[in-house]
Each structure stands twice: as C-alpha cells, then as structure tokens.
Structure 1
Amino acid sequence: MQPENRSGDQKRSFIEDARRSQIVAATIATIAEIGYAKASFVRIAQRAGISPGLITYHFAKREELMKQVVLTVHDSMDQALTARTENADGYVSALRALVEGFVHYCAEHPAELVAIGQIADAARDAEAARTWSEEQNARTLTELEDMFREGQRAGELREFSPRVMAVTVLAAMEAAPAELWARPDTDVSEYARELADLVERAVRAA
C-alpha cells in the first residue's frame, strides 16, 4: 500500500523536514549541474542517495518540488540580507548593505541562483514556482519604492521617481548572478562596492 503523501499542510516531523531539505538541496545541485530539463526525480534521487519513491512521498509533483526550491532560496536570501541591513543607521546605509549583501549572496550561492533562474524560465510544470517568483519580484519593487519614499521624506534621498529607481536598482542587482557566473575571477567585494557606489550616487541628496 502506497503511504499517504505528506507534501501538503500536515504537520511534519523533524526527520521529515530534514529529508525535504535534503531533497531540495539535491534538486538545486542537480539543476545547476545538468539543467532544469534533465533534473528528473530519478536524477535528483541519485544525487541525494535515495529512491525516487521517497521524493514522491514528500513532493507529489515536480512542480511542487520546484516551488519549494524557489521558496527555500528566497527565504535563505531574505535571512542573509536582513542580517546585513538590520543595523543600518540610515536609508543610504541600508541600501548599500542591501546591494552589497545581494552581490555577496550571489557569489556564495551560485548553484541556488542558477536553479531558481532556470525554474523561473522553465516550462509549464514550473508555473506555480514562476508565478510565486513574479509575486516576490513585485513585493521587492514595492519594498524598494517604500524605502525610497521614506528616505525622501527624511531628507536623506534626493527627489526622483521611486518606481523608476526601484526598477533600475532591482535590474542592476539581478544582473549580478549572470555576471559573476560568466566571470568567476571577478573581485566580488570590488563589484559589490562599485555597484553600491553607483546606487548611492543615484539616490543620495546633495
């Protein structure tokens, strides 16, 4: 008899959470190595050293597993960026910490960025993950806009369109993973500092 799939909202044990984390990590590594299209449950199971049936026990559909990969990477990124920005002493300082933190996260987690990038661009069975990624992007833009408006009201940032600046800054940040992947000899600290300098000059009040 097939065990009941536990991929829904049922309360999971510590062991089940650990197994799901193992599967997600194996999925990230598999996509980074052979690409999204070839990352079948069989290949992921081989990477994790488990049976394909154990994956379907935790994730009934490939789409569900891919969405969990996106959620896991974004949660990890949010935690890393929060740690960098929480002690900032102003809007410019917080923005610099955000930009530099993102670049360093990309450099330290290349496989994760490759995986979620391929999932976001992938075919029909990643629709839920892609939709979630688009929603996350919209939330990030809104948060940047709010930050810029608050900084302008505080007199720390110059007058500009918060929406235009948010789109521009996010696009510059999102270009970092591909650049670092294509040029592995890049000085990450210098890249992060230069990008933060550009953003600061664009927003700081005279």
Structure 2
Amino acid sequence: MRSKSTGEAGETFLNRARRRQFVTCATEALGELGYTATTVAEVARRAGVSKSVVLYHFSSRAELMEAVVDQLYGDAVEPIHAAVGAAETARERVLAYVRACVLFVWAHQREARAVLEVARNLRKEDGSPRYTAREGAALVGFARGLLEEGQRSGELGDFDAWTLAVLLRATIDNLSEQFMADPALDGPRVADSFAHLVGKMITPREGES
C-alpha cells in the first residue's frame, strides 16, 4: 500500500503532466489556428478529453493562455542560465547570454509563435492588454545585470547598460518573427553574428579603463 505522501507526489506529477499536455495542445492550436480559434473546446478536442477536464486544471481560457507564455519562458531559464554560468568572464557571460537566447528562440519557433498570439490578443477583464512592456522588465533586468557586472570589473566599455539591455531584448524578441518568416535563416549563424556585433558594442574604446 502506498503511503499518503507517495500518493500525493504521484498525483502532483500526473497533474503537472496533464497541465503540460494541455499547454502543448494550446500551443499547437495557437500556431495553426490563431488566438480566436484556440478555445478550451479546441484544446480539449486535441487532447481527447472533455472541456470539463481542461477546466479542472485551468480555471479559464485566460489562465490556459497565460500558461502557454509561462511555459516558454520557464523552459528557457535552464539552458540560458547554464550557458551563462559556464562562461568564465563577464564579457563571455554577456556573449553566452546572447547566443543562448537566439538559439533558444530558433529552436522553439512554434512556441514563440503561440506566445506572440497570446501577447497580442489576451485582454484583462477591463479590456486592457494582459501583456505590456512591464512584463519584460525582468528579462531586461537580467541582461542589464550582466552588462553592469562587466562594467564594474572593467571588462566592458562605458555605455548605458539599461539602453543596451533593452536593445538586446528587443532584437531577441523580434528574431522569433524573423525565423518564422524565413525558414532558411540559420539559427547558429545568426547567433554568432549577433554576438559578434554585441561584442563590438561592449568592448572598451581606446583610452577607457
């Protein structure tokens, strides 16, 4: 007989797996059908369950759409942090971050398309956009922290770290659409090219200490 704790752990695992299944179905539907047609009923149909099963795990369509966004950014954390953590200098950490972000977006184009659909269409109860620039503040803050670390150590040049962090994030986010629009684009090559440009931007100019 299983202990109560073992049973609860198993149930939690199954719940997580079920939620992820519904997020995957929603992601596929968003990419193929767009936001309007990605209803709870459509997600349930793809998962082979009733609407009530989906709504048992997500209280509303909006919560399910938010989970699509959270899933993509959650999945990005480990590979990006691993790449940054493996770098030995502040400069290398910035460039590793740039490469890892571009490669992640390139490898997750379907998910990126779904997130764009949600970000552009999901509304709060008062009709205002659910996602605004405010939601990207943490991403900008992480990039800014890497840049400021390099400036403090003297490895990077004199520039406004916040401005460059915003520029980096805007470019990375826009690249997801570029990859989707042009399948011929090579992710690793784009990542290397972007990192090369960023490397020039952060290198101290002659005379800077």
TM-score where L is the length of structure 1: 0.87
Deviation at 1:51, TM superposition (A): 1.6
In 2: Cα distance, 1:18 partner to 1:123 partner: 24
Contact 1:110 1:177 in 2 (8 A): yes
Which stretch of structure 1 is more off in the superposition, 63-72 or 116-125? 116-125
Look up the match of 1:200: 199
- Unaligned residue ranges in structure 2 (runs of 5+): 1-10
Structure 1 unpaired stretches of 5+: 1-11
Tell me: CA distance 1:86–1:128, structure 2 relative to 1, closer, same or farther (3 Å). farther
Work out the CA distance in 2 between the residues paired with 1:46 and 1:125. 26
For 1:71, give the aligned amino acid.
Answer: D
Distance 1:129 1:17 in 2: 28
- The residue that corresponds to 2:47 in the other structure is 48
TM-score (norm 2): 0.86
Partner of 1:4: none
Structure 1 contact 62–125 (Cα < 8 Å) conserved: no
SS in 1 for 2:32: helix
1:6-49: CA deviations, max 9, x gaps?
Answer: xxxxxx62211111111011111110111111101111112222
User: Could you say which residue in structure 2 is the equivalent of 1:130?
Assistant: 130
- The separation in 1 between residues aligned to 2:70 and 2:88, in whole angstroms, is 30
Q: Secondary structure at the match of 1:205?
A: coil
Question: Percent of pairs identical after alignment?
Answer: 27
> Secondary structure of 1:99's partner?
helix
Indicate how the Cα distance of structure 1 residues 15 and 129 shifts in structure 2: closer, same or farther if over 3 A, else same. farther
Counterpart code for 1:170: R
- Whichever residue aligns with residue 35 of structure 2, its letter is Y
Q: Assess, with a 3 A threshold, how the Cα gap between structure 1 residues 101 and 156 changes in structure 2: closer, same or farther.
A: same
**Kept after mapping to 2: 8 A contact 1:119/1:129:** no
Paired with 2:128 and 2:14, the residues of 1 have a C-alpha distance of: 26
1:188 aligns with 187
Count of matched residue pairs: 195
Alignment CA distance shift 1:66-1:123 (3 Å): closer
**Cross-structure match for 2:27:** 28
Say whether 1:159 aligns with 2:158: yes
